[in-house]
Amino acid sequence: MSAPVGLATATGSSYAALLGVGAYRPVRLVPNSELVEAIDSSDEWIQQRSGIKTRRFAGPDESVQMMSVAAAREALEHAGIEAGQVDAVIVATVSHMMQTPAIAPAIAHELGCGQPVAFDISAACAGFCHGVGLAADMVRGGSARHVLVIGVERLTDILDRTDRGTAFIFADGAGAVVVGPSETPGIGPVVWGSDGEQFDYIRQTEDWRDVMTSDSPVMPALTMQGSAVFRWASFAMAKVGLEAVERAGITVDDLDCFVPHQANMRITDAMARSMKLPATVRIARDVADQGNTSAASVPLALHRMVQEGDARSGDVALLIAFGAGLAYAAQVVVVP
C-alpha cells in the first residue's frame, strides 16, 4: 500500500440524542365495526386477537408528504430547531407510491430546510428505528448535525379491504424526531439485522412488472403470514430488545418506558413478559387506537406517551421495531 495521503476525516459530536418528537394522526377514526363485514369478522375477535379498537385512515388530502411535514414541524418545534438548521432528512416508508424520486427531498423543500441530504429508506415496520440508528451515527460521525427522521405510511393505498389477515391491522399516520448533538449519551447502540429466509412472510402480492402485463391489472396489496410473523416477533424480538439494553450498558431495571412497534397488543405483552420488564416500566399501547402504522408506529407511540405524561423528558426508553424483510432494529434512547 502506498503512503497515506492524509485525507481529512469528518468528526462529529461525542454523543447524539433525540431532541424533539412530533406526530400526525389522520382525522378519520375507523372503528372495527366499519371493517368487519368485508372480512367476515367481529369487533370482539379483532380486539381479542390484536387489541385494536380503532385506527385512522388518511383522507385524500392527507398525503405521505402532508402528514410528514405536519409531524416534522411539531418535532422541530419541540426540539427548538429551525428548519434551516436541518442538514439531513431520512424518511422511512413503504407507501410513497412513486418508485422514484424519493419523497424526502420534497418534504425537506416544503419544510424550508434548504438543500439537505434527503433520502428514503425501505425497512418496512422497522424503518423508523433504522433511521434513528443511521441518524445517531451521522451526528457522531460528523456527516450531519441535525437529522430529521420521519416514519410515515398511507398503508390504506395498498390494503386489500377484503383480506382477513391485514385489513383490520394496518393504518395511516406519521411520526418524526429530530436527532442532534448532545453533551451526554442519548441514543444507545443500535441492534439491527434481517432474516431474508423469511422474505415472503410480509410482502406485496405481486411484482409491478407482473401486474402491468396482466389483462386486468390490480394494485398489488400487502399480504402477511400473520401467525408466522406473530411467533417470530413474540420470541426472537425479545432477545433483540434485551441485547439493545445490554449494549446500552444498562439493565431492564433502568428502563422507564418500553416503546415497541405497535403490531399487536399480544406481541407487546409477550415481549414484555419474555424480557421480564419490571412492572414499573410504562408500555406504549397506541395500537389500540391507531392500529399498525408500520414505519410510523414507534414515533407515534412515543409521541403519545410524551403527550400523556407516560414518558417524561430524561426517561430511559427501549425502542424496538420489526417487520417485512424480515427486518428489525432496536435502541435505548433518552426521552426528549
**Active-site positions?**
125, 261, 292
Which residues, numbered 258-277, are part of the site for ligand UT7 (CB under 6 A)? Answer: 263-264, 267
Cβ within 8 Å of residue 187, ≥6 positions away: 15, 16, 17, 18, 132, 136, 179, 331, 332, 333, 334
Which one of residues 192, 230, 258, 328 is an interface residue with ligand UT7 (CB under 6 A)?
230
- Is residue 325 close enough to count as binding ligand UT7 by CB under 6 A? no
* Gap between the Cα atoms of 173 and 80, Å rounded: 23
> If you search the block for the grid coordinates 438548521, which residue do you land on?
85
Contacting residues for 119 by C-beta, under 8 A, at least 6 apart: 89, 90, 91, 102, 104
CA nearest to 323, candidates 42, 95, 28: 95
Q: Which is nearer to ligand UT7, 24 or 201 (CB)?
A: 201
Among 141, 165, 181, 185, binds ligand UT7 (CB under 6 A): 165
Of 144, 148, 185, 145, residue with least CA distance to 331: 185
Residues found in the chain: 336
# binding residues, ligand UT7 (CB under 6 A): 22
By CB under 6 A, tell whether 223 contacts ligand UT7. Answer: no
**231 makes contact with ligand UT7 (CB under 6 A):** no
Coil, helix or strand for 30?
Answer: strand
Shortest Å distance, C-beta 203 to ligand UT7: 11
- Nearest Cα to 75, choosing from 237, 321, 273, 303? 303
Nearest residue (CB) to ligand UT7, 39 versus 135: 39
Q: What residues between 54 and 113 interact with ligand UT7 by CB under 6 A?
A: none
Q: Is 125 in the site for ligand UT7 (CB under 6 A)?
A: yes
Residues that bind ligand UT7 (CB under 6 A): 39, 41, 45, 49-50, 125, 164-165, 168-169, 202, 226-227, 229-230, 233, 263-264, 267, 292, 294, 323
